[in-house]
Amino acid sequence: MLRVTGLTSQFRGRAGVVRAIDDVTFEVPEGESVGIVGETGSGKSVTIRSVLGLLPSYGEVVSGSAEFEGTDLVRLNRARLREIRGARIGFVAQNPFGSLNPVLSIEKQFRNVVRAHRRISRTDLRDLAVERLESVQVRGPERVLRGYAHELSGGMAQRVVIALAMLHDPSLVIADEPTTALDVTVQRQILDLIDAQVKQGRRSLLLVTHDLGVVAQYCHRVVVMKSGKVVETGLVADVFSDPSHDYTRQLLAAVPPAPWADDVPSLSGQEVHR
Amino acid sequence: MSIMQLHDVHQVFRRGGKEVHAVNGVSLSVGKGETVAVIGESGSGKSTLGRVALGLITPTSGDVVFDGIRLGSLSKKDMRALRSRIQVVFQEPYESLNPRIKVGDIVAEPLVIHRPEMSRAQRRDAVVAMLERVGLTAEHAGRLPRNLSGGQQQRIGIARAIITEPELVVLDEPTSSLDVSVRARVLDLLRDLQREREISYVFISHDLATVGLISDRVAVMYLGKVVEQGPTHEVLTHPRHPYTKALLSATLSTVVGQKRQHVPLRGEIPNPSKAPTKCVLSGRCPVEIAECSSWPVDLLPVAERHDVACLLADVGRQPVELGGPR
């Protein structure tokens, strides 16, 4: 489905050129969920932004490829990439209020997303938007469509973003820390929702997270990143029960045990110094 | 013996004719050398409660008593003197450090204010000793905060808080913005410091796993009220309130296949705009009965030092049982 090979990206800054990710290679097989996990600065977000052509202006992909449905995304021009991004790949970012346009009504945003790819009448659009909002359990979809992003809670806004991302029935969903900005009790709701949307549509999922628990419960495969490099990949069941890399072991050991577990083992882990 | 007691604290903010009941009748006591965790989501009132305990805001009603002294009764001068005994560590280490001041001066500042009798040389020695105590070196004193990692910045925040040898430190999400591996080491440091100096902590957090590691007792807040409180181990292993259960079920295990039953709450936390006339969880609760929306529900003991504000708490762990695959 998605095959990333030798992907290397760099940033230009006052201090010169910094390599943000180096020789990143992994695969998202069809119908599977893959989690990219790592700490701050590991390059997990840069990886998906490189794949999606969403690097900031001072960043660039230097080498490598990201093959999706037979096309190398890295070599596409902006217009073609945008087309694929909206239609074949759905993207859910960390902050829903950054994804939604604050000055357009939610309905207008549905219209813009649909019309970027096909013509649709006003009434058909309304019906489609209502149906899609219902499918992500937004209560009172008509009222939400008339309103604006700031009137929504964080969880509701993220549901709207997910509905927009699924609008063109993408075969791949890429989510970048989709619940980090949300409250704890809402996080599970949103993860379950993404999970259900992916499974129902037989889509593949690439999920970036710092939460190893999320990977353990929602992903088939895991890509562990550190300092811009992939240190370990494999099936979650294998990697988490028997990590082959020291860093993976440290990450797992640093997660506090579930609080309802009776024995609390001592902590360990290496602090990353800049 | 308790070092701090909060008695029926209410905090109402008024903004543009609207009232927000951020804290709604909370009583809490913190023992000497004890860590009491206050957990809740954003909007639960936990940070406001922390500011009340720090004496940064005077509550609308209720008493805050520190070491037998009522905070509201103090003159400005006495209050300032008391501040060296109650300190704070904030969530965002970088945001809470002045970016233009060198680390050594940041850590020295509380001494300049609270220990004016110290000489420059004494102060320098105290700062170096403190930096070394929190796992840094004298060399770090000359650096600016931005030249330190997140974990090191938080160590500076901790050094600044404890250099005046406070008896109580309010920790407001001190590890939430840190990566997991760094978080573990900062928690270790906090525990060691507590053991050495018998400091009491009020540990404000939304992360149950962290709370499970560091606290002796826990108070779960929702919409300005404590809905459950008790010994940490007891509350986390035998939660009685549906909200506590929902919070616990939201923490995902890293053991593959050990997905816990999800206790779903409907919708999201509402605005605490008016004083509750019913159970605070009414409308979101998965096990609600008619009586829940009839009157406010108060904390009642269900076991030794374990209080729960739920009409169904006496039914035991029946209504929403955790555990087992879904």
Q: What tens digit of pLDDT does each residue of A117-161 get?
A: 888 899 999 999 999 999 998 989 999 999 999 999 889 999 999
> Which of B151, B255, B268 faces A153 most closely, judged by CB atoms?
B268
- The half-sphere exposure of B35 on its side-chain side, counting CA atoms within 13 A, is 24
The 3-state DSSP class for residue B72 equals: helix
> How far off is chain A from B256, nearest CA to CA, in Å?
5
- Flag whether pLDDT at B319 surpasses 70: no
- Flag whether pLDDT at B66 surpasses 50: yes
Contacts of B240 (CB under 8 A, 6+ apart): B228, B302, B306, B308, B310, B313, B316, B317
- A243 and A211 Cβ atoms separated by less than 8 Å: no
Q: How far is CA A171 from CA A2, A49, A205, in A?
A: 10, 18, 9
Q: What is the Cα–Cα distance from A162 to B43, expressed in whole angstroms?
A: 25
The 3-state DSSP class for residue B277 equals: coil
> Which of A217, A251, A272 faces B252 most closely, judged by CB atoms?
A217
Which residues in chain B (164-203) have CB-CB distances under 8 A to chain A? Answer: 179-185, 187-188
pLDDT of B321 reads 45
> How far off is chain B from A258, nearest CA to CA, in Å?
6
Residue A59 DSSP class: E
> How far off is chain B from A264, nearest CA to CA, in Å?
7
- Walk across the sheet containing B18-31 and list its strands: B18-31, B2-15, B61-66, B69-70
- Flag whether pLDDT at B318 surpasses 80: no
- Name the residue in chain B with its Cα closest to that of A260: B237
> Which of A185, A213, A268 faces B252 most closely, judged by CB atoms?
A213
Residue B220 contacts A where some CB pair is shorter than 8 Å: no
pLDDT of A270 reads 29
Q: What is the Cα–Cα distance from B311 to B321, expressed in whole angstroms?
A: 16
> How far off is chain B from A160, nearest CA to CA, in Å?
14
pLDDT of A264 reads 30
Tell me the average pLDDT across B143-158.
Answer: 94
B158-200 pLDDT, tens digit per residue, is: 999 999 999 999 999 998 888 888 888 899 999 999 999 999 9
Which residues in chain B (249-278) have CB-CB distances under 8 A to chain A? Answer: 249-260, 262, 264-265, 267-269
Contact A267 B213 (CB under 8 A): yes
Q: For this complex, say whether ipTM is above 0.85.
A: no
Contacts of A229 (CB under 8 A, 6+ apart): A21, A22, A23, A24, A43
Tell me the average pLDDT across A170-189.
Answer: 90
A187-236 pLDDT, tens digit per residue, is: 888 999 999 999 999 999 999 999 999 999 999 999 999 999 999 999 99
B78-87 pLDDT, tens digit per residue, is: 998 899 999 9
* Beta pairing partners, B10: B24, B61
A30-70 pLDDT, tens digit per residue, is: 999 999 999 888 999 999 999 999 999 999 999 999 999 98
Contact A256 B209 (CB under 8 A): yes
B269-309 pLDDT, tens digit per residue, is: 787 766 678 899 988 888 888 888 888 888 999 888 899 99
